[in-house]
A and B are shown apart, each in its own frame.
Chain A
C-alpha cells in the first residue's frame, strides 16, 4: 500500500516542480472549466479504451501463442525442439517498431501478390504484432515455470497412465501457474507500454490522440505530461490487480 502512495506522490511532485518559471506551462489546453480544454481532455481520455482493448487482446494472444511455442520447445527430440527455438530467437531479435511497419506496410504487398486483397486493420495488425513480438518472451516464461516443476511429477503422472497433454493440463501447468504468473504479469505491463507504438500506424489509442492534440494546440509539455500520467495510472491499476491475484493464490498455498 505504502509504496504505491509514494509513486503517486513522486508523480505529483514531478508535475509541481515543473510549474516555474511563469509562462513555461500552459495548462489551459486541458483546463476542464473551458470548453476547448474540456474537449481536449475528453478526446485524450477516450484513448483509454483502445489502449486497454489492444493490450488485453495482445496479451491473451501472446499467452496462447507462447504456450504453443513453449511446449514443443521442451521436447526430448531435437527436431521437434528446433522450430520453437528458431521462432523464439528470431522474434526476440526483431524490434517491435520495424515489425509493426513490416506487418502494416509490407504484409499487404505479399498478400496482394498472392491475389488476396486484404487490408490490414490497424487494430488487428497492431494486436497481432504485439502478441507475436511478446510471445517469444511468454514462451520462455512458460519454459522456466514448467521446468521448475520436479521431474518426479511427470513420472508419477505417467505411471498412473496420463498421456503428455493430460500430464500438462492436470499436473504440471496448475503447479507451474503460480510460478509463471508474476513474470507473466510483468509482460502484460510491458505490452501496455509497447502498445504506444500502434500510434504510428494510425491506431487511435492514448499516444496517437496525444500526438494529434499536440499538433493542433502546440502544447507538447502539458499533453505529454498528461500522457505519461495516463500510462502510470493504467500500470498501477494492473500491478495492484496482480498483487491481489498473487495474494489470493498464495492464500491456498499447498506447495
Chain B
C-alpha cells in the first residue's frame, strides 16, 4: 500500500498533553519534495504536529512514518532523533557559547563524523548561501534576529537533511528582518528538499507552498492548493481566519 514517494505520513494520530487533546485523528501524507505550509490560530496544534515529525514530541495513538520508518511512539525511547530531519525554531535556539562556525560544525563533526576541515568548508558554503559569510567568527548575541535565524537555517542544512521543518521561523523577528529570512527559505524551496513550514506569512505561502493546511483545535480542517485555499476557502472557520490575518 505505502507509496515509496511518501516522505512523511500520519495515520490516525492522536496526542494529549495530560487532559488536553492536542492532536485529533490526524491523517496526512506528504510526498518527497513537497512544500507544505501549515497555518491556523494559536493553540491549534500546528507546532505539535511538526514536532511529532522529528520526535521532539511523542504521540499516544496512531502511526507516524518518516521515509517509511516509524517514529516517536511513547512506547519507544524518545532518543531516536532523526538527523535526516532538520528543524528551524521560532526562537532560533543557537548555541550561545559557540561562534557561528562552531554552531554549524558541531553536528556534522560529532554526529556525522566529518573532519573539522570538511565540516568547515561545508559551513562556509552554507553561510554564503544564507548571505552572511562575514559573520563566521561572531557569537550569536552579536547578530541581529534575522541573521541569527539565517545561521540557524544554515546549521540545519549542514546536516544535509532530506526534510526541513520550520516552526514559525519569522514570528520572533522584527518586521524589517522577516523578508531576509523568507528569501532564504524561498530560495531553499527551489530545491528537491521536503519542507513543512508553520507560518502566518501568507505572501510566502502563495509563493512557496504546493499545499496549504489549515488547523484548528487539533484537527486538520482544510487542505488545498494555495490558489484554491486563498480564493475559495471551503469552511467558515478558515474563511474567518484568513480574513483576520489578511486584513493588514
Contacts and interface: CB of A to CB of B under 8 A. Distances in A.
Given A159-B156, A161-B83, A166 B95 contact: no
Interface in A171-209: 171, 174-175
Contacts of A157: 95
B94 A156 contact: yes
Interface in B177-233: none
Nearest to B54: A159
Contacts of A153: 93, 95
A162 B111 contact: yes
Interface in B3-43: none
Contacts of A166: 110-111
Interface string A129-151: 00000000000000000000010
Interface in A231-255: 254-255
B107 A160 contact: yes
Main secondary structure of the interface of B (DSSP, over half): loop
B73 to A, nearest CB: 14
* 8 nearest A-B residue pairs (beta carbon): A160-B107, A161-B111, A161-B83, A156-B93, A152-B93, A159-B87, A158-B81, A254-B139
Contacts of A161: 81, 83, 107, 110-112, 159
User: Interface size for chain B: under 10, 10 to 19, 20 to 34, or 35 or more residues?
Assistant: 20 to 34
A76 B58 CA distance: 12
Interface of B: 54, 56, 78-79, 81, 83, 85-87, 89, 91, 93-97, 106-107, 110-112, 139-141, 152, 155-156, 158-159
Main secondary structure of the interface of A (DSSP, over half): helix
A155 interface: yes
Interface residues of A, number: 21
Given A166-B111, A170-B110, A254-B139, A152 B159 contact: no
